[in-house]
Amino acid sequence: MLIYLRVIKESFNFALSALRNNKLRTFLSLLGVTIGIFSIIAVLAAVDSLQKEIKGSISALGNSTVVIMRFSFGPTEIPRWKREQFPDVTYEEYQYLKKSMPDADAISFVLGVPRATIKYQEVTTTGVDIGATTHEYYDIEAFEFEEGRFFNEAEAVSGTAVVVLGHEIASNLFGSANPIGKEIRVYGRKARVIGVLKKQGQSFLGNSRDGQALVPANFARRVYGTTKGTVFPQIVLTPKEGVSNDEFVGVLEQQLRNYRGIKYGEDNNFFINQLQGFSDFIDNITGQLNIIGLVISGFSLLVGGFGIANIMFVSVKERTNLIGIQKSLGAKNKFILSQFLFEAVILSIIGGLAGLFLVWVVSLIASQFAGDFEFVLSPWNILIGTIVSAIIGLISGIIPAISASRLDPVEAIRTGF
């Protein structure tokens, strides 16, 4: 064991010597490994960051959330002409499902109403995204309040003119003043502010609550009615903890088919969209991006491997006399082999660490200029970079190491004279 530690120490010293004595040659040779590791880890880190940001944008709802509407979140085999004939889900269906789905933890009716202009006295904010929901949506999405509260069941059922403001909207309208209890105008109608959400920041999908206002669905229904193509109604459900998602969706589908009178063998005229399926779709896309990035980056690593092999062949040639002396003093072939393999691995790891350092620098710069998007360099990606560097060094150094271990000691010593 001690002899191998000594070999590693000597190999490390030889590697540093190669860096000091042949700076330009070693730098150019290691540049391939540095660029290769930089490319691979940058791709992995970028895809991981993208995946984390997208999943973070939908994490407030949770993977078990189910959305019923006449549109599908993903590709579907149902032809477009047929999908366009699907009816919207209704408030009555929401009420029916509340009674017929005992395994549902929460069921909410949501309307996709148009953007609105909100006015408080002389201050006006235009293009505000309005979320029209029933009171149960508070149990589905994890709202955090800076001040006030969400609307309750009585306010939701009666369509009381109350509104919950996102942090940005509240700041635009009221500045530093307390907005709770103040009256504003939404869709030209008076509404009382009952809550302000905590600042959330912009997500990758652009669905931050900071620029939104939430009103009871029945308040929005009085303004827009239920005209198809205008409000895009949805029913959002979450199953109770421990309930199988597949079983829950199966019961839900059958209940809605029964309510709509869809006969056996007929296709559904609605879509049950699961966020778990959307999450799996994201995983599939990011997995493909990883593969494409790794293939492209692999060419850079191939060049880097040739660079390491070049250094090692030159190192063997320069130290042929020393190898002969070591073998004449009793050094075995595996000792010489190990010495050059360790040296190749150490050189490659140095190049890999340089690549990781570049990724870290780029991640810091990218995070500064990308707003709320956070570029993450995880410990797992750092470990992958280090291991790949070592493997490249091992593969690149194996042939030079074997050639060094097989040198004839007499011939090797003679080359030094």
* DSSP β-ladder status, 145-148 and 66-69: unpaired
Q: How far apart are CA 298 and CA 296, in angstroms?
A: 5
What's the number of domains the chain is made of?
Answer: 2
Q: What is the pLDDT along the chain (417 residues), one digit of tens a residue?
A: 666 677 667 666 666 666 676 677 777 777 777 887 887 777 777 777 776 666 555 555 556 788 999 888 777 788 888 888 889 899 999 999 999 998 888 899 999 888 888 998 888 888 888 989 999 998 888 788 999 999 999 999 999 999 999 999 999 998 888 899 999 999 889 999 999 998 876 554 445 788 889 999 999 888 887 666 567 899 999 888 888 888 898 999 999 999 999 888 888 889 988 876 556 666 677 677 777 767 776 776 777 777 778 777 777 777 777 777 777 777 677 777 777 777 777 778 888 888 888 888 887 777 676 655 567 777 777 787 788 888 887 788 788 777 777 777 777 676 655
Of 235, 269, 303, the one marking the end of a domain is 269
Residue 45 lies inside a defined structural domain of this protein? yes
Residue 224 lies inside a defined structural domain of this protein? yes
Say whether both 395 and 333 belong to one domain.
Answer: yes
Q: 358 φ, ψ to 5°?
A: -65, -40
Residue 103 lies inside a defined structural domain of this protein? yes
Say whether both 107 and 155 belong to one domain.
Answer: yes
Say whether both 6 and 113 belong to one domain.
Answer: no
Predicted confidence at residue 1, as pLDDT, reads: 63
Say whether both 388 and 345 belong to one domain.
Answer: yes
Residue 228 lies inside a defined structural domain of this protein? yes
Q: Euclidean distance between the first and final Cα of the chain, in Å?
A: 35
Predicted confidence at residue 412, as pLDDT, reads: 65
Predicted confidence at residue 204, as pLDDT, reads: 46
Q: Which of 396, 406, 410, 391 is nearest to 313 (CA)?
A: 396
Residue 64 lies inside a defined structural domain of this protein? no
Say whether both 254 and 220 belong to one domain.
Answer: yes
Say whether both 344 and 317 belong to one domain.
Answer: yes
Predicted confidence at residue 45, as pLDDT, reads: 78
Of 215, 234, 269, the one marking the end of a domain is 269
Predicted confidence at residue 258, as pLDDT, reads: 92
Say whether both 188 and 323 belong to one domain.
Answer: no
Predicted confidence at residue 122, as pLDDT, reads: 86
Residue 73 lies inside a defined structural domain of this protein? no
Of 269, 301, 330, the one marking the end of a domain is 269
Question: Which contacts of 374-377 are long-range, i.e. CB under 8 A and separated by 24 or more positions?
Answer: 374/49, 374/52, 374/53, 375/45, 375/46, 375/49, 376/45, 376/48, 376/49, 376/52, 377/41, 377/45
Say whether both 130 and 181 belong to one domain.
Answer: yes
Residue 390 lies inside a defined structural domain of this protein? yes
Q: How far apart are CA 39 and CA 373, in angstroms?
A: 20
Residue 169 structural domain: 87-269
Q: DSSP states of 184-246 as a string?
A: EEETTEEEEEEEEEPP----TTS--GGGEEEEEHHHHHHHHTT-TTTS-EEEEEEEPTT--HH
Say whether both 242 and 198 belong to one domain.
Answer: yes
Write the burial class of residue 366 (CB in 10 Å: 0-12 exposed, 13-18 middle, 19+ buried): middle
Say whether both 51 and 182 belong to one domain.
Answer: no
Say whether both 111 and 182 belong to one domain.
Answer: yes
Say whether both 190 and 306 belong to one domain.
Answer: no
Predicted confidence at residue 249, as pLDDT, reads: 87
Please give the angle made by the CA atoms of 367, 368 and 374, to the nearest 5 degrees.
Answer: 25
**Structure tokens given for 101:** 């789905």
Residue 75 lies inside a defined structural domain of this protein? no
